[in-house]
Every structure is written in C-alpha cells, then in structure tokens.
Amino acid sequence: MCLFTGLSARAGHWHAAGQAGSLPGWIHADAPLMSRKLYIRTFGCQMNEYDSSRTADLLARSHGLQRTHDPAQADVLLVNTCSVREKAAEKLFSEIGRWKELKSARPGVLIGVGGCVASQEGAAIQARAPYVDMVYGPQTLHRLPQMLDAAGRGARAVDVSFPEIEKFDRLPEPRAEGPTAFVSIMEGCSKYCSFCVVPYTRGEEFSRPFDDVIAEVAELAAQGVREITFLGQNVNAYRGAMHGGGVCDLAELIRFTAEVDGIGRIRFTTSHPREFSDALIEAYAEVPALVSHLHLPVQSGSDRILARMKRGYRAQDYIERIRRLREVRADISLSSDFIVGFPGESDADFEASMRLIDEVGFDNSFSFVYSPRPGTPAAAYADEVPFVRKKARLARLQARIAEQAAALSAAMVGSVQRVLVEKPSRKDPRQMSGRTENNRVVNFDAAPALGGQFADVRIIEALPNSLRGVLVDAPAAARRM
Ligand code: SF4
C-alpha cells in the first residue's frame, strides 16, 4: 500500500539494535531523576501538538521527565515532525544537527525523532544522523518509555509501525491545562489525495471506541474544561464502536458530548467535504454547543483540478453543502485550505477558485503554493506553472480572504458575543482574553476570576488580529467593578 520504499516492509515491527544489558547511562548521571528534563520541538498540525503534549504526559509518568523550553537544559530531546510542509526532511536535519552539538557536550543526552517524517524515513534517519537514538511514528509514541530505556542502554530503537488503537490505550489519563482541550478521536486517512503523504505516514483511518472518547471528555470536563475540540485527519469520517454494539458517527458523538456536564462548546477539525453528512448538518440545527465555525478544506474551486487532486467532489458539491449548512446556521463562519498552483492549474482554474471564495465567503484560510511531496502521485505530474505566477495567485487569494475576514470582524462591532474566557491579556494584565465561537480573540476589562467561564461581551472595536469588548454579563463574582 505504501509508495515509500520500504515502509510496508517496516510496518509491524520494532527493533532495538546495539549493545544491551547495561543500565541507562542518563538515569545514572549526577542530577536526581525528578530533575531530568524533556524538550519537544513540534512541527505541523494540531494533531502533532496533541501528540507532543501526550508524549510529555507519558514520559512524566514513566520517567519523571519535566518539560523544558530550553534544549540546552534537556536530557531527552524529541522532535515531532510533519511531512505536509515543504522541505520537511531538511528542517528536521537542520534541527537535530544543532542537537548533535548538545549531545557532544553532554554524552548522556538522548535524541528521538517522531511524527510523519520519522514514519516515512524510518531507519534511514539514523543512517544519515547516527547520533539519533530513537525513531518512532505517530502510532508508536506510546512505546517511547521502552525505547528510552533501550536507548539509555546504548541501543538504537526504531518503531514506525501502525498498531492502530493500541496507542490510545497506553497513554496516561488526560490533564486539563485551561478551559479548552483537544481530544483525538480518529487517526489516519484513507482518502489518498494525490498531493498528500498522510495516508502513508499515519496509516488508514481508524476511530477510537465511543466509550473511550466520552470517558476522556468527562474526565476533562471534571477538571474544568468547557470547550472540546475533536481532532482527526478526517475527523468527520469518525466511526467509533459502541459498547452495546453499533457504530457512532461524529454527529452522534457531538450529541452525546453536549450532554456531558460542564461542556459548553464543541469544535472539530479537520473535515473532508465528502464526509460532511446530512446528519452533521442536523447536528448544527439541534446542538447549540456545536460552535458556529467550521473548517472545511476545499483546496480548489476548479473541478478539473479537484479531479487531479483526487478529492472526490466538485466545487458545486461543496457550495451546496455550505448552502444547506447556512439554512440551519445562518451565522456560521467558515475557514478552508487552498493549494494554489497545483500542477496544470490554468488562469481559468485559478479564477474558479476566486469565484468559489466570493460565493462562499471565508473567514480564514490555510493557503499555500503547491510544492511536491516525495512519493505522492502528484509529485510525478508535470508542473509548468511558473513559481512567480503561483506566488501572485496566492497573494490575490489571501488578500481576498483577508478582506472577507475584516468585513466579518467589522460586522461584529456592536454585537454581543458569548466568549470563553481563557487568561489575562498579554498586553494588559488588567484585561482578560477569550475567544468567540468564530475563533476571534476578544480582550476586555474583567477580573481574573472570570478565567475558565463563559461571559457575554459587547464588541466595541475590530482590530487587525483581535477584537475589543466590554463585559455585558458574567458570573457576579467575576466582574471588575
Ligand atoms: S483527505 Fe487528502 S489531504 Fe486530507 S489527510 Fe487525507 S489524503 Fe491528506
């Protein structure tokens, strides 16, 4: 199934090569165990951020490692890589090249490479960078404690297999860090878009059982979390087994989640238009906790380019889904992904994307000039669009979406928004900062006691990257008098 040489041959094993038997050197160094430090550098998406934070929880439990933001202080250095962005391997080797010097200065330091590039490259990483002790994939990070022990004995460990759901069973209980939390509900992707490496690096789609997800949500809610973001590469392809038999889709999971005490907001990312079902649209009609914001990647407005990308829908299908959604949620704000300058994209194809943007109206976008990812079908496509033309197209597209977002912010002035208050504002500690349903940061005068609660805030000014507001309604104890 894999386009990358050797990946399928590597799947399903983990091995540790090198001398074994001696006790981990880094455990026996001078500093006490509890002061051992872990540094994790994360590239890429929210899935990777989530994996990094669960990795930190895991190694805190197994080895007492405390997280540091300074690589020079760390005893274990991990990089969680992403192969979606350009020059992923170069970025990785430049990062760990700097760590090689840290390891030379302190030989007990251990270095690990995880994430999608690790999945793609496997043992080739250690062939190029022999000072790397551990290579693990997104689905095997739960085995890091054993790999760390092996590496501490001088063995070099590689495990980039896809043991599916095992990962979630082995991770520690989630710990809330504020009123918002991510919950990963599915991994992998079976869509095989022609430009994307994810199906090869994270494997096919698989969903966590429904009961495990709800138990995690309830645990986080009990710790004070008020907003849950469900994560998955194709999160709306979720099909979780239920304990009494049957399968739960994302729409049903959202309904159950809204019933969990304390949960006031539900988000999910990232969705695929093909999986954006009628049931999900009904959930928007019936579940107020499901926020009025949706990230739904379209990638292009040209049917010809969508077919070359193997996206499995036409521009009109996408527009129609949004029309149906707006019938039940008129105020929904939308963000999307666009790839500009895909091989063969003509001026007419690009203008089709601009027309789609005008018709739908977006609030934000993750938009990039196309660049090939090794091993994907599109990497073999002839690409005649000059780079400078691609850049010019991207600038036009981003400027149009920025105009749309600014108009939406301006239209919010005077309205009262429900805000989930997070923390004191970075610029003015007398103010609190929170987010609206459509993901805008709002700063307003309030007491710190309001943190972690919902408040109604009237928007008084739209700034380029945030809003200013005044508190209208909040729990009495939390108002600044
Ligand atoms: S849907 Fe396409 S772009 Fe998204 S992860 Fe799957 S293959 Fe990649």
pLDDT tens figures, 369-388:
998 888 899 999 998 889 99
C-alpha torsion 87→90→96→97, nearest 10 = -150
pLDDT score, position 83: 75
| Smallest CA separation from ligand 1 atom 2, residue | 193
Is 141 close to ligand 1, i.e. is its CB under 6 Å away?
no
Q: Is the CB of 198 under 6 A from ligand 1?
A: yes
Which atom of ligand 1 is nearest to 84's Cα? 8
Tell me, in angstroms, the distance from the centre of ligand 1 to residue 239's CA: 17
Residues ≥6 apart with Cβ < 8 Å to 381: 194, 308, 343, 344
Cα gap 425→443, rounded to integer Å: 6
Beta strands in 23-89 (DSSP E): 37-42, 66-67, 76-81
Tokens at residue 121, please? 């490259």
Distances (CA, A) of 87 to 83, 94, 117: 8, 11, 11
Say yes or no: CB of residue 368 within 6 Å of ligand 1.
no
pLDDT score at 81? 87
Q: How confident is the model at residue 176 (pLDDT cuts 50, 70, 90)?
A: confident
Residue 190 CA, closest ligand 1 atom number: 6
Q: In the beta sheet, which residues pair with residue 368?
A: 339
Ligand 1 pocket, 311 CB below 6 A? no
Counting from 1 in the atom list of ligand 1, the atom nearest the Cα of 192 is 7
- C-beta of 191 in contact with ligand 1 (< 6 A): yes
What percent of the chain shows pLDDT beyond 90? 62
What per-residue confidence (pLDDT) applies to 31?
A: 46
pLDDT digits (tens, 9 = 90+) for 324-356: 999 999 999 999 999 999 999 999 999 999 999
The torsion angles phi and psi of 96, rounded to 5 degrees, stand at -75, -20
Identify the pLDDT of residue 243. 87
- The tens digit of pLDDT for each residue in 47-89 reads 888 889 889 989 998 999 999 999 999 999 999 988 766 677 7
Cα radius of gyration (the chain): 23
> Which of ligand 1's atoms lies nearest the C-alpha of 202?
5
For ligand 1, the distance from its centroid to the CA atom of residue 39, given in whole angstroms, is: 29
pTM of the entire predicted model:
0.82
Q: Cβ contacts of residue 344 below 8 Å, gap of 6+?
A: 304, 305, 308, 381, 382, 383, 384, 385
Cβ neighbours of residue 364 under 8 Å, at least 6 residues apart? 335, 401, 405, 439
Pocket probe for ligand 1: among 46, 47, 190, 193, the residue whose CB has the most ligand atoms within 8 Å is 193
pLDDT band at 116 (very low <50, low <70, confident <90, very high): confident
Distance of alpha carbon 383 from its chain centroid, rounded? Answer: 29
236 Cβ below 6 A of ligand 1 = no
Q: Which of 102-106, 115-119, 396-400, 427-431 has the highest mean pLDDT?
A: 396-400
Q: CA distances (Å), 140 to each of 101, 208, 337, in order? A: 27, 15, 28
CA distance 137 to 313: 31
- Substitution site in 45, 186, 202, 233 for ligand 1 pocket (most atoms within 8 Å of beta carbon): 233
Q: And the tokens for 124?
A: 């080739």
Q: Which atom of ligand 1 is nearest to the CA of 199?
A: 7
* In the predicted structure, residue 137 carries a pLDDT above the cut 50: yes
Q: pLDDT per residue over 398-443, tens digit each?
A: 999 999 999 999 999 999 999 999 999 888 888 999 999 999 999 9
Q: Which residue has the tokens 């208050």?
A: 421
- Give the closest residue (by CA) to ligand 1 atom 1: 191
Compute, in angstroms, the gap from residue 148 CA to the centroid of ligand 1.
32
Is 193 close to ligand 1, i.e. is its CB under 6 Å away? yes
Q: Is 121 helix (H, G, I), strand (E, B) or coil?
A: helix
Least confident of 12-21, 184-193, 208-217: 12-21
Per-residue model confidence (pLDDT) at position 258: 97
Nearest atom of ligand 1 to the alpha carbon of 189: 6
Return the axis-axis angle of helices 46-63 and 144-152, rounded to nearest 10°. 60
For residue 5, pLDDT beyond 80: no
Kindly report the average pLDDT of the chain as a whole number.
87
Is 315 or 57 the better-scoring residue by pLDDT?
315
Ligand 1 binding pocket mutation candidate from 1, 197, 234 (most atoms within 8 A of CB): 234
443 beta partners = 433, 468
